Chains A and B, each alone.
Chain A
Amino acid sequence: MLQKDQKLHAHVLSDTPELVPIRNGFGEGLLQAARQDDRIVGLCADLLESTRMEAFAHEFPNRCIEVGVAEQNLASVASGMAAMGKIPFISSYAMFSPGRNWEQIRTTICYNDVPVKIAGSHAGISVGPDGGTHQAIEDLALMRVLPNMVVLSPCDVHEARKATIAAAQTSQPTYIRLARDKTPVITTEETPFAIGKASVLFAPESRTPEVGIIATGALVQSALIVAKELHAKGIPATVLNMSTVKPLDTAAIATLAAQAGAIVTVEEHQVFGGLGSAVAEYLAEHQPTPIAFVGVRDQFGQSGTPQELIAHYGMDVSAIHRAVASVLLRK
């Protein structure tokens, strides 16, 4: 059952959910945060509109720096501004930032431990027709491995807005992963959000779950559909929305693994190095539990519609069902 305390969107499990791009939430959150804190500045690399920094730029022209198509400079200029007391948000496509400028992020942002916030838009394979060059499916791994870095992966527009506002209030380097495509709205304004806190969105009534599904980003709604369909088949399942990939909410994972005894991870990312790896690292060391991974299997993407690609690379509802079936056999 959907968890009432999460105050989720009324149509989250309907056939026609409300669809809004996750990146819109970044734009709204940045504007709100900037109105409250004049230390916030924005830097963009020739993608002001599509990364949704436009409204901020319009309202705060003196606090918005256009660096041109130069993502390495983008990261290090932001580092310099942070050293002077600013809270810089940098935005580009995830493939270019943090894709192209990883070392600048490592050395000038994380090694210096300055509060630069990196918004990576167009993350995941659902970027679609632009093709494999533009589909960042390695970004969680790239950011998760860096000391000091916080990694956020909101599931919808509301969570992206809250994540952006929350990130603006911390002193840590932070990566915010954003999808391009219109994505089902799962949460509402009232849904609780905190960095580092996973939330149970769906859990069986009065029964112990037989499987725990840990999902992040745009695929959380698919995980909820799977849980609902499993419920109809008499298999109780719990869905954990892992909107922070680092620091990992290990208490929530431990509880779920203890209850369910089998875990499926779901992410629009390479299986190597992403959420699934993070969960597996924790469970392998502390609480060995059978686990199945839904994600891209060591391949590049290609052109297509988001739906075609999600299905082709094994991340749709039926793929999650297969992963559940396989992990249940290993309990």
Chain B
Amino acid sequence: MGNISDATVCTLEQRANLIRQSIITMLVEAGSGHTAGPLGMTDIFTYLFFHGLQHRPQEPTWPNRDRLILSNGHICPVLYATMAHAGYLPLEELQTLRKFGSRLQGHPHREFLPALETSSGPLGSGLSQAVGMAIADRIDRGTQSDRYFYCLLGDGELNEGQNWEAFMLGAKEKLHNLIAIIDRNNIQIDGFTENVMPLNDLRAKLASFNWHVQEVDGHNFEAIDDAINQAKAVFSMPSVIIAHTIPGKGVPFMERDYRWHGVPPGSGPEDVVVKQDQEHQALDALRTLGGKITCSDK
């Protein structure tokens, strides 16, 4: 631990909070979309776009950039919101999510928003694409390339067999600059992952596929930074980081409740918060850090 300063962590935490607020407001405006996953992955995305990635938001096609491939495209609100906060697109554009003519399609489409590395939505194809990119990179730049390929996956998504085809190939090709990050939030549409389709000992499974495996608290920036640095230090195999996250993170009435997987605030379950109050209470929870502080602009 210790590569990242306390001041940086503080900045990242504040940034992540603003991104979560953007996610809430854009989903409310859209009237549909996924809430739990984006909030759960906000810290990882914030880390990557504001600290981890080599990239140039003003020059999205910069050839030397790292690539970020989002496999579980349904959590794109966090991708769009983080990109907007990083300067890839105007913040106001977030309010066009899922609307006709918007660059922010319900699931990411690179033809609409060229700054994306790929289109995604149907689950299970992202890792294969990241493997292909890393193989192409090795052909062009050899085994010492310092361009990194980050693939973000969901845990429920691992039900798709194609992922395991990609895990096999990534290990066979010893893709040292490929880093997969799995959002281990334990939920999918029909319920808890271990009820819908148990992943059981995911760490052992991945290790047996010959990947370098780490587990990390997906809301701890120091731990995330440490894991990424560790992954970059592995030269003989690809790396996978199992990021333990809390779905709905930052909004207590959403946290860990799989019913928030695929609905926006205002359409969620009413047994805790009535629909009309869901947006307000979600934003309030974020602005007050779950009631720990008083919100100044309230």
Question: Which residues 112-161 of B sit at the A interface, judged by CB distance below 8 A?
Answer: 117-122, 124-125, 128-137, 139-140, 161
Inter-chain contact A77/B110, CB cutoff 8 Å:
no
Q: Identify the closest chain A residue to B128 (Cβ).
A: A76
Q: Identify the closest chain A residue to B107 (Cβ).
A: A107
With a cutoff of 8 Å between Cβ atoms, the chain B residues found around residue A81 in the complex are: 132-133, 135-136
| Interface check B162, CB cutoff 8 A | yes
Task: For A83, give its contact among B125, B129, B166 (CB under 8 Å).
Answer: B129
CA distance A41 to B125 in the complex (A): 20
With a cutoff of 8 Å between Cβ atoms, the chain A residues found around residue B132 in the complex are: 76-84, 88
CA distance A63 to B138 in the complex (A): 10
Inter-chain contact A84/B125, CB cutoff 8 Å:
no
CA distance A81 to B128 in the complex (A): 10
How far is the CB of B178 from the nearest CB of chain A, in Å?
Answer: 10
Inter-chain contact B133/A70, CB cutoff 8 Å:
no
How far is the CB of B152 from the nearest CB of chain A, in Å?
Answer: 14
| Interface check A255, CB cutoff 8 A | no
Inter-chain contact A70/B168, CB cutoff 8 Å:
yes
CA distance A82 to B139 in the complex (A): 13
| Count of A-B residue pairs with CB < 8 Å | 102
| Interface check A113, CB cutoff 8 A | yes
| Interface check A103, CB cutoff 8 A | yes
Inter-chain contact A62/B129, CB cutoff 8 Å:
no
Chain B contact residues (Cβ within 8 angstroms of A): what range?
20 to 34
Task: For A77, give its contact among B111, B121, B169 (CB under 8 Å).
Answer: B169
With a cutoff of 8 Å between Cβ atoms, the chain B residues found around residue A73 in the complex are: 128, 131, 162, 165-166, 169
With a cutoff of 8 Å between Cβ atoms, the chain A residues found around residue B133 in the complex are: 80-81, 83-84
| Interface check B109, CB cutoff 8 A | yes
Q: Identify the closest chain B residue to A78 (Cβ).
A: B132
How far is the CB of B298 from the nearest CB of chain A, in Å?
Answer: 44
Q: Identify the closest chain A residue to B169 (Cβ).
A: A67
Task: For A76, give its contact among B110, B125, B134, B139 (CB under 8 Å).
Answer: B125
Inter-chain contact B122/A107, CB cutoff 8 Å:
yes
CA distance A112 to B119 in the complex (A): 6
CA distance A76 to B134 in the complex (A): 13
CA distance A125 to B118 in the complex (A): 36
CA distance A78 to B130 in the complex (A): 10
CA distance A77 to B175 in the complex (A): 13
With a cutoff of 8 Å between Cβ atoms, the chain B residues found around residue A108 in the complex are: 118-119, 125, 128-129
Inter-chain contact A83/B165, CB cutoff 8 Å:
no
Given contacts A73-B162, A80-B128, A80-B130, 5 further A-B contacts (CB under 8 A): A73-B128, A76-B128, A81-B136, A107-B120, A112-B110
Q: Which 5 A-B pairs have the closest CB atoms?
A: A80-B132, A76-B128, A84-B136, A80-B129, A73-B165
